[in-house]
Amino acid sequence: MFAVIEIKGVQYRIEQDLEFKIDKIESEENILKVSEVLLIEDGDNVKVGTPYVDKAFVELELIENIKDKKVLVEKFKSKVRYKRRFGHRQQYTVAKVKNINYEK
């Protein structure tokens, strides 16, 4: 069984007990309930939402907040003596799928 969900405008294909990275979510609780389910596939049954599947939700366990590797960005203009260099580290939240719930 797998599902396609949408979190912060990004779509993820998830399965039971899958750990994946999403953009950082500030939350006091460590459980997140996502009701934006776009598709659910269970064996031969495929349910596609318009745009979301009714009576379906996914429970995610938020494990930890992490930072990705640093990405260096350089700006350069020739013949003007202009150089800039800076870095960026994207912040993520590691989430684990606990339940994929769907009422038929």
Question: What's the domain count of the chain?
Answer: 1
Enclosing domain of residue 32? 2-63+94-102
Q: What is the pTM (predicted TM-score) of this model?
A: 0.82
Whether 37 is covered by a domain: the verdict is yes
Q: What is the pLDDT along the chain (104 residues), one digit of tens a residue?
A: 899 999 999 999 999 999 999 999 998 899 999 999 999 998 888 999 999 999 999 999 999 999 999 999 999 999 999 999 999 999 999 999 999 998 87
Whether 43 is covered by a domain: the verdict is yes
Give the model's pLDDT for residue 104.
Answer: 73
Buried b (16+ CB within 10 A) or exposed e, 38-69: bbbeeeeeebeeeeebeebbbebebeeeeeee
Give the model's pLDDT for residue 5.
Answer: 96
Whether 41 is covered by a domain: the verdict is yes
Give the model's pLDDT for residue 43.
Answer: 86
